[in-house]
A and B are shown apart, each in its own frame.
Chain A
């Protein structure tokens, strides 16, 4: 009688597919995963503590570094929190510019997430090149408005740091014309490829109840079939003015998460179209002239949350009346979405782990802070 034993393997912290320094302690029976324990904290850099010794404005560039794919969305959530705390009004045009930037961010994040997920399946970078092709053009637009491609630091309390340049809207319109074909192409990449289907259908199923009990948000939750989107559930900024749908999956597997992301890119494009139509002229100003940037909010606390491309991104701030936050807490979607990884991977093969991890779409900068 041959006896077999279970094998414990550390995937990470240095591993090509863990999207940063992340460790998964897996127990395998042959190729089948018996248990998986996510271990994080390798990228901890004292983000929240550092924020407490900086002024409110000094923290704005730090938020860029949380989820470095979506610096605009991070800026938005932080600006909303400080504005709530200090009671700052935002002019109409600035609101539109902000939503414009965040929706562009959503498109580039989802394109990248899909590309990286297929890369994790073993495709040798070509699908990734498809994914980041349009992302580059969006980053060009970001560079145009903020001077930086990734660490934009574009938002300010009461608006945005500078108005849109003259050639921004024409370039955006040009991008929007090419976008539907691009999104269709990205979708065909999965829908019409037998191997991709075999690798994603029925893999990493996250049932609705489990998803809710873990507090998962974003495309991962919607892939499990729950139409929860903060833009609809608790409209912030000016999202109540736009017409868009919330796509949901049915099974909650990797395939559903992929399709939800593709559909969200289309919906973001719809929002962008409405923004271009409704964008007020520059007479309203891009920033509230009465808003002081060296803000000194009254004593109190505030929590502001947005639907970041990865899920619910929230900033909780406590003010003691000084120029620095007394407490600064980030509710990072990647971190919360990562916790059910063990439940999602159990029973599948070793090769599925990296695909499931890729389908959650995490950025370690946000998980560990």
Chain B
């Protein structure tokens, strides 16, 4: 964005504006786009979800407001604005008011480090990934505040469930993302996306083949396992089916949102959908190349930058648009998976959720980090960071290294999955045997 603004102001208009003005204007444009457009398109996720689930259930879904119901989110918003804001008498008034703000504000910040296209990022923090998850944890505090301040037992139960769930699933989520940090050597989301250029062969390059932007991490065994683990953990973080336990409507009504109405309720709702969108976007960014895709590399090579002063700024804009399109397409695809899961599955129980997280997901992601280390060592065989002990007779080609790394990590990951699944199934088998013997295998009853 800096290059384009610089081109328009200084080259085209000849204003000779100082560097900081260019910087300020380019940032303002990015921030305006992010904060005006991003939340609005998230509103339409609710429409998207309702229509998709309606199709799954042989219904039509909202189709009255606007063309095919496209204005339904706006109508919902207007309705929410006109609703009476009810605060329970026994609620802690100030905390009750603050809770939706504390929940909704942090998720907006998460947009700041999300790369939308080449050079299209609000702040390219060197610790973007850490920032992303650190900020998302803050909104958990808001949930606890909401549950506690409502002075409602359903809300309290929901808040406790939410905190327990989010805290437990942040560990596997971050552990599964660590492999990307190890592979790229950076926590910057932009650097992680840029590392996923090239062909299907990640982190290695084959000469004389154009950059198709398809070197996604998901095409490696390490990346694939991490992707599966992360997406499951993301479902739990975003409180999506089958992990929508904190707001299980058939058990505890709406969990921590029970005592909220009007705009405060809408804020929780908005925060949750933005979080879901961002979790899908981060999945696309880290595992599926983010804005990378065929054509991006060519557009970037034609565009204006400090290295290429002869480039045309139109290509900057085109590259940005295509990158944004790729990112959004991938994100919506993941959101569709979330929607389809919601349409198909019942939810787990809180103890089953914890068992799954702590006994299965966390060990699996830890083993995956081991695989990632091996991947790096093998693909950089012979170099300072790779295996130095065993030397090949002659230098092995990149492809050979890649194939060896693929085979080794695949074996490790499949074995780890199989072993952990066996361990967890043994629980199930033992429970079945106890049931057949006529005993109570789960939660023995207490005398009242």
Give the A-binding residues of B (Cβ under 8 A).
53, 56-58, 153-154, 157, 161, 241-242, 244-245, 248-253, 342-352, 431-432, 435-436, 438, 440-446, 448
Complex Cα–Cα for A123 and B342 (A) = 7
Q: Which residue of B lies closest to A253 (CB)?
A: B435
A-side contacts of B242, CB under 8 Å: 122, 195
Q: Find out whether the CB atom of B448 lies under 8 angstroms from the CB atom of A35.
A: yes
Q: Find out whether the CB atom of B348 lies under 8 angstroms from the CB atom of A198.
A: yes
Chain A 344-359 interface mask (CB, 8 Å, partner B; 1/0): 0011111111100000
Q: Find out whether the CB atom of B431 lies under 8 angstroms from the CB atom of A354.
A: no
Q: Which residue of B lies closest to A31 (CB)?
A: B350
Complex Cα–Cα for A155 and B36 (A) = 64
CB-contacts of A28-79 with B (<8 A): 28, 31-32, 34-35
Q: Which residue of B lies closest to A127 (CB)?
A: B346
Q: Find out whether the CB atom of A349 lies under 8 angstroms from the CB atom of B445.
A: no
Q: Find out whether the CB atom of B251 lies under 8 angstroms from the CB atom of A251.
A: no
Expressed in whole angstroms, the minimum distance between the Cβ of B336 and any Cβ of chain A is 15
Q: Which residue of B lies closest to A358 (CB)?
A: B250
Q: Find out whether the CB atom of A351 lies under 8 angstroms from the CB atom of B349.
A: yes
Tell whether A126 pairs with B444 under 8 Å between CB atoms, given A16-B250, A351-B251.
no
Q: A202-B435, A349-B350 are in contact. List 7 more A-B contacts (CB 8 A).
A: A27-B448, A28-B157, A122-B242, A193-B345, A195-B345, A346-B446, A352-B349
Q: Find out whether the CB atom of A121 lies under 8 angstroms from the CB atom of B250.
A: yes
B-side contacts of A17, CB under 8 Å: 250-251
Complex Cα–Cα for A48 and B355 (A) = 50
Chain A 173-211 interface mask (CB, 8 Å, partner B; 1/0): 000000000000000000001011011011101000000
B-side contacts of A32, CB under 8 Å: 443, 446
Q: Which 6 A-B pairs have the closest CB atoms?
A: A347-B445, A122-B347, A121-B346, A123-B346, A17-B250, A35-B448
B-side contacts of A250, CB under 8 Å: 436
Expressed in whole angstroms, the minimum distance between the Cβ of B307 and any Cβ of chain A is 51
Q: Find out whether the CB atom of A351 lies under 8 angstroms from the CB atom of B346.
A: no
Expressed in whole angstroms, the minimum distance between the Cβ of B202 and any Cβ of chain A is 32
Q: Find out whether the CB atom of B241 lies under 8 angstroms from the CB atom of A122.
A: yes
Q: Find out whether the CB atom of B440 lies under 8 angstroms from the CB atom of A347.
A: yes
Q: Is A299 an interface residue (CB 8 A)?
A: no
Contact among B56, B251, B350 for A126, CB-based, below 8 A: B56
B-side contacts of A212, CB under 8 Å: none
Q: List 18 A-B contacts (CB under 8 A).
A: A34-B448, A118-B346, A122-B244, A122-B249, A122-B251, A122-B347, A129-B58, A193-B346, A201-B431, A250-B436, A251-B435, A251-B438, A253-B435, A347-B443, A347-B444, A349-B443, A351-B347, A353-B251
Max chain B C-beta neighbours (<10 A), residue from A118, A126, A346: A126
Contact among B154, B245, B346 for A195, CB-based, below 8 A: B346
Q: Find out whether the CB atom of B153 lies under 8 angstroms from the CB atom of A348.
A: no
Q: Find out whether the CB atom of B250 lies under 8 angstroms from the CB atom of A119.
A: yes
Q: Find out whether the CB atom of B57 lies under 8 angstroms from the CB atom of A350.
A: no
A-side contacts of B440, CB under 8 Å: 202, 205, 347
A-side contacts of B442, CB under 8 Å: 202-203, 348
Q: Chain A interface secondary structure, helix, strand, loop or mixed?
A: mixed
A-side contacts of B349, CB under 8 Å: 198-199, 349, 351-352
Q: Find out whether the CB atom of B245 lies under 8 angstroms from the CB atom of A351.
A: yes
A-side contacts of B154, CB under 8 Å: 9
Complex Cα–Cα for A352 and B441 (A) = 15
Q: Find out whether the CB atom of B347 lies under 8 angstroms from the CB atom of A9.
A: no
Complex Cα–Cα for A123 and B348 (A) = 10
Expressed in whole angstroms, the minimum distance between the Cβ of B127 and any Cβ of chain A is 35
Give the B-binding residues of A (Cβ under 8 A).
7-9, 15-17, 27-28, 31-32, 34-35, 118-127, 129, 193, 195-196, 198-199, 201-203, 205, 250-251, 253, 346-354
Max chain B C-beta neighbours (<10 A), residue from A124, A127, A203, A250: A124
Expressed in whole angstroms, the minimum distance between the Cβ of A346 and any Cβ of chain B is 5
Contact among A8, A119, A123, A205 for B344, CB-based, below 8 A: A123
Q: Which residue of A lies closest to B442 (CB)?
A: A202
Contact among A31, A126, A348, A349 for B343, CB-based, below 8 A: A126
B-side contacts of A16, CB under 8 Å: 249-250, 253
Tell whether A129 pairs with B435 under 8 Å between CB atoms, given A31-B351, A198-B348.
no
Q: Which residue of B lies closest to A345 (CB)?
A: B445
Q: Which residue of A lies closest to B164 (CB)?
A: A31
Expressed in whole angstroms, the minimum distance between the Cβ of B396 and any Cβ of chain A is 43
Q: Find out whether the CB atom of A354 lies under 8 angstroms from the CB atom of B251.
A: yes
Q: Find out whether the CB atom of B250 lies under 8 angstroms from the CB atom of A354.
A: yes
Q: Which residue of B lies closest to A37 (CB)?
A: B448
Complex Cα–Cα for A123 and B56 (A) = 13
Max chain B C-beta neighbours (<10 A), residue from A9, A34, A122, A123: A122
Complex Cα–Cα for A199 and B347 (A) = 8
Q: Find out whether the CB atom of B342 lies under 8 angstroms from the CB atom of A350.
A: no
Q: Which residue of A lies closest to B432 (CB)?
A: A201
Q: Find out whether the CB atom of B250 lies under 8 angstroms from the CB atom of A202.
A: no
A-side contacts of B153, CB under 8 Å: 7-9
Q: Find out whether the CB atom of A195 lies under 8 angstroms from the CB atom of B348.
A: yes
B-side contacts of A199, CB under 8 Å: 346, 348-349, 352
Complex Cα–Cα for A135 and B230 (A) = 40
Complex Cα–Cα for A16 and B247 (A) = 13
Q: Find out whether the CB atom of A124 lies under 8 angstroms from the CB atom of B53.
A: yes
Q: Which residue of A lies closest to B344 (CB)?
A: A126
Contact among B53, B251, B348, B445 for A350, CB-based, below 8 A: B251
Q: Find out whether the CB atom of B435 lies under 8 angstroms from the CB atom of A201.
A: yes
Q: Which residue of A lies closest to B252 (CB)?
A: A350
A-side contacts of B161, CB under 8 Å: 31
B-side contacts of A8, CB under 8 Å: 153
B-side contacts of A15, CB under 8 Å: 253
Tell whether A202 pairs with B253 under 8 Å between CB atoms, given A195-B242, A346-B448.
no
B-side contacts of A129, CB under 8 Å: 57-58
Q: Which residue of B lies closest to A197 (CB)?
A: B428
Q: Find out whether the CB atom of A351 lies under 8 angstroms from the CB atom of B350.
A: yes
Q: Find out whether the CB atom of A120 lies under 8 angstroms from the CB atom of B58.
A: no
Q: Which residue of B lies closest to A252 (CB)?
A: B438
Complex Cα–Cα for A198 and B154 (A) = 24
Max chain B C-beta neighbours (<10 A), residue from A17, A31, A205, A351: A351
Q: Find out whether the CB atom of B448 lies under 8 angstroms from the CB atom of A348.
A: no
B-side contacts of A352, CB under 8 Å: 349
Complex Cα–Cα for A349 and B350 (A) = 9
Expressed in whole angstroms, the minimum distance between the Cβ of B445 and any Cβ of chain A is 3
A-side contacts of B436, CB under 8 Å: 250-251
Q: Find out whether the CB atom of B446 lies under 8 angstroms from the CB atom of A34.
A: yes
Complex Cα–Cα for A16 and B249 (A) = 7
B-side contacts of A195, CB under 8 Å: 242, 345-348
Complex Cα–Cα for A9 and B440 (A) = 25
Complex Cα–Cα for A348 and B443 (A) = 6
Complex Cα–Cα for A9 and B446 (A) = 18
